Chains A and B, each alone.
Chain A
Amino acid sequence: MVEFTPKAAGAVPPAEVPDVELYHPTNWWTKYVFSQDAKVIAIQYSGTAILVGLIALVLSWLMRLQLGFPDTFSFISAEAYYQFITMHGMIMVIYLLTALFLGGFGNYLIPLMIGARDMAFPYVNMLSFWIYFLAVLVLVSSFFSPGGPTGAGWTLYPPQAIMSGTPGGQDAGILLMLISLVLFIIGFTMGGLNYVVTVLQCRARGMTLMRMPLTIWAIFTATVMALLAFPALFVAGVMMLFDRLLGSSFFMPALVELGERLEYGGGSPILFQHLFWFFGHPEVYIVALPAFGIVSDLISVHARKTIFGYRMMVWAIVIIGALSFIVWAHHMYVSGMNPWFGFFFATTTLIIAVPTAIKVYNWVLTLWRGDIHFSIPMLFALAFIVTFLNGGLSGLFLGNVVVDVPLSDTMFVVAHFHMVMGVAPILAIFGAIYHWYPKIAGKMLDDTMGKIHFWITFIGAYAIFFPMHYVGLVGVPRRYPEIGDMSFVPESINELNAFISIAALIVGAAQVLFIFNLLWSIRHGKDSGGNPWRATTLEWQTPTTPPPHGNWGQNLPVVYRWAYDYSVPGADEDFLAQNDPWPDKPDGAQA
């Protein structure tokens, strides 16, 4: 073994890593509500995200009811359908996935996994959550505003987004949406600063960057990307607010509405598309990278094996993060842009597939001849890999201009992005919750309920989205509340649509079981102990479970090894915790 320092490892002086000055809560309000403890903030973030996520889930039910059984539900008008898809898409992508991965898992896992007491700037961290909460309130309030929420599609393309023909375009809907997004970005920036600086500055002694678990690498990279990409959405949102409120013409071309010429003129809707997708594509990886990191850790723990190609995994994360900033225009192949641009962006899009494929190979090689435990987190992690692969492959098709042009705006695209950025990250989130819930609550989630939840969700998601590819291939367009009689669409599509809708209802219902499990197990779950999965990373080595304010009690941990020492020959157990000095004596116990 190579020694890490020229010094003998046995004789390290006691931990003197600077402590963050902790703010100690004095009453119930500062302990549970306006808390500055990253763990409480994490739970606040996750709880809020899951609650709005449920709204988005119900909206998807309503949409599927309309698509599966057109003309049956009189309360779902075309306008309402547009409002549903818009709110569903925006909530799922931004307010659920981004907030849950970075605000939820980021806050909970970063300090614990790198051996810190808390985030670098706890007060700013608290503000971050409350601004996010405000953003959610503004968003939800648009359901109750006159005219209802915006129906512009989650991409909010002008000019239609702010015109009277679109639900909420001339009412409060679009305004509330834009304001909510701006708030979200401000709140996220505060949190993001914390995640980045904490990883850079607050690591325990011995926790070098290349010893960090992949979860942390992934959340870190995703946060950096989000900090650089969200400003584009901010700019687009503010400029659209100007167009809508002050009558400027950033995005608005000359238009005639109801026979009257509007006062707009000369603006460019394409400019908005560039700004939106400059944010939008990195956003896909902002939710995918944390899922990658989490899944890497889950399969390593539950297959009792060293992650295959750790360095390659880290580099792939970083390279994917960087490349994803130069592919945005693959969402704009049909916008009439210069064909050479299309060629360029198709090329970069396909290049990203290389580091992504490396990750998939490495997962498979980690599993190869592993001691695979089919625990629920592992099931979800495996499901993630298959699903992501599936969505990634259809992405390779769509990345080519000639394939995308006919398929653009069909249900094929809807099926593709649900596989790759809808279902796959959600599966990773479920896996992560089953994995880390014992640390958060000190109790295991119920296994039987978990298994039922897993199988219904996994098989159900395929029942929904697999046939949808076919629906798209025959030409059913996206964002249509009903397709009417289109001569090129076979009759049988109606039955398929009804089938998909029923599957969607069942999958949705299974999530109720999951929520029930979360609540039920707080009281009735089996005691988990501190390290039920016998994992190496630091969060499992806290002196008490759930970890208290300040995480580590008297002494901060000292890190002696990387995060993946499973099945090391000669060791007593089949794992060596990161703070285990084996084969040397622990700190202070000099012989």
Chain B
Amino acid sequence: MSVILTFLLVIFCFGGWWLTKNHFLSKPWLEHGAPAASVDSDASHRQTAKIGLGVFLAVIGSLFAIFTSAYFERMGLPDWRSFQLPRLLWVNTGMLIACSAALHCALIDARNGFLVPARSGLAIAGVAGLAFVFGQLAVWVQLVNEGLGVSATPAVTFFYLLTGLHGLHILGGLVALAMTCASAWRTTAISELAPKIELCTIYWHFLLAIWLAMVVVITGWAEDIVVTCSQLF
């Protein structure tokens, strides 16, 4: 359970920092009066969407952290056998990185007011994202053809489970991306577009990070790293 506990520790540290920023030591019974109104109501509106996304990502993070904990616990049991990962996985990983990069470029373009390059960035990201999904499906097909069905070994089951769950989140991201694309092609007001692209980009970067973490876990590198580190002491 160490993975999820570490994750929680990070969250709690963040929470503690946030509390200190919000004057948790103040004495409200002595205070009186109201602060001046905030001027930029638009900015705080955008902030709301971003914070909503942030909280959502924390929940997804905790979901994958718990899965990883369960993975390591199960891995410690005697019947664990690892299996050969299909090569295609690396191509897919490349696709996901490409998708994140394209979105990032789109975001920078949109911020600088270039509509057309932003649109093409979004389109490339969409294609790369779809390619990732189909690539993952192809990996599943390969595994099944090799005789590694869902219940073959615990490692294989976990592989399907983690890639499947990650894939579902990717599908959700694709829907959001499609909606952003739709509004990118409809409007010419780039200032409205940039915040939407920003939300998409944050989400996709996060899913990329989760994916890389999952790769480290599934390939067994995580274990190697832990072993190497423990030998240092």
Number of interface residues of B (CB under 8 A): 55
Given contacts A18-B41, A120-B48, A559-B34, contact A235 B150 (CB under 8 A): no
User: In the assembled complex, which residues on chain B have CB atoms less than 8 Å from the CB atom of A200?
Assistant: 51
User: In the assembled complex, which residues on chain B have CB atoms less than 8 Å from the CB atom of A8?
Assistant: 33
**Complex formed: what's the CA distance from A232 to B68 in Å?**
11
Q: Assess the B34–A558 pair: CB atoms within 8 A.
A: yes
Which of B26, B31, B38 gathers the greatest number of chain A CB atoms within 10 Å? B31
Which of B12, B52, B150 gathers the greatest number of chain A CB atoms within 10 Å? B52
Q: Assess the B150–A246 pair: CB atoms within 8 A.
A: yes
User: In the assembled complex, which residues on chain A have CB atoms less than 8 Å from the CB atom of B31?
Assistant: 1-4, 211, 561-562
Beyond known contacts A197-B52, A561-B32: 18 more, CB 8 A cutoff: A2-B31, A3-B33, A4-B33, A5-B36, A12-B37, A15-B37, A192-B59, A193-B59, A208-B26, A210-B24, A211-B28, A228-B11, A232-B66, A266-B79, A267-B154, A268-B77, A271-B73, A278-B66
| B55 interface residue (CB < 8 Å to A) | yes
User: In the assembled complex, which residues on chain B have CB atoms less than 8 Å from the CB atom of A560?
Assistant: 32-34
Interface size class of A (residues with CB under 8 A): 35 or more
**Subset of 26 A-B contacts with CB under 8 Å:** A2-B30, A4-B33, A9-B33, A12-B37, A14-B37, A197-B48, A201-B48, A205-B35, A206-B35, A208-B26, A209-B24, A210-B26, A211-B31, A235-B66, A248-B150, A250-B154, A268-B77, A271-B70, A278-B1, A306-B29, A310-B28, A311-B28, A325-B5, A326-B5, A561-B28, A562-B29
**Complex formed: what's the CA distance from A238 to B4 in Å?**
17
Binary CB contact string for chain B from 7 to 44 against chain A (1 if under 8 A, 0 otherwise): 01001100100010011111111111111111101101
User: In the assembled complex, which residues on chain A have CB atoms less than 8 Å from the CB atom of B66?
Assistant: 231-232, 235, 275, 278
User: In the assembled complex, which residues on chain A have CB atoms less than 8 Å from the CB atom of B88?
Assistant: none
With both chains docked as a complex, state the minimum distance between the C-beta of B24 and any C-beta of chain A, in angstroms: 7
Q: What residue of chain B has the Cβ atom nearest to residue A265's Cβ?
A: B79
**Complex formed: what's the CA distance from A201 to B43 in Å?**
12
Contacts from A to B (Cβ < 8 Å) = 1-5, 7-9, 12-18, 120-121, 189, 192-193, 196-197, 200-202, 205-206, 208-211, 224, 227-228, 231-232, 234-235, 238-239, 242, 246-250, 265-268, 271, 274-275, 278, 306, 310-311, 314-315, 318, 322, 325-326, 558-562, 564-565, 581, 584
Q: Assess the A227–B1 pair: CB atoms within 8 A.
A: no
Given contacts A246-B150, A268-B73, contact A17 B56 (CB under 8 A): no
User: In the assembled complex, which residues on chain A have CB atoms less than 8 Å from the CB atom of B25?
Assistant: 311
Q: Assess the B52–A193 pair: CB atoms within 8 A.
A: yes
Q: Assess the B74–A210 pair: CB atoms within 8 A.
A: no
Q: Assess the A9–B70 pair: CB atoms within 8 A.
A: no
Q: Assess the B157–A248 pair: CB atoms within 8 A.
A: yes
User: In the assembled complex, which residues on chain A have CB atoms less than 8 Å from the CB atom of B151?
Assistant: 242, 246-249
With both chains docked as a complex, state the minimum distance between the C-beta of B51 and any C-beta of chain A, in angstroms: 5
Contacts from B to A (Cβ < 8 Å) = 1, 4-5, 8, 11-12, 15, 19, 22-39, 41-42, 44-45, 47-48, 51-52, 55-56, 58-59, 62-63, 66-67, 70, 73-74, 77-80, 150-151, 154, 157, 161, 165
User: In the assembled complex, which residues on chain A have CB atoms less than 8 Å from the CB atom of B33?
Assistant: 3-5, 7-9, 12, 206, 560, 581, 584
A234 contact from B15, B22, B63, Cβ within 8 A: B63
User: In the assembled complex, which residues on chain A have CB atoms less than 8 Å from the CB atom of B165?
Assistant: 238
User: In the assembled complex, which residues on chain B have CB atoms less than 8 Å from the CB atom of A322?
Assistant: 12, 15
User: In the assembled complex, which residues on chain B have CB atoms less than 8 Å from the CB atom of A246?
Assistant: 150-151, 157
User: In the assembled complex, which residues on chain A have CB atoms less than 8 Å from the CB atom of B51?
Assistant: 197, 200-201
Q: What residue of chain A has the Cβ atom nearest to residue B68's Cβ?
A: A235
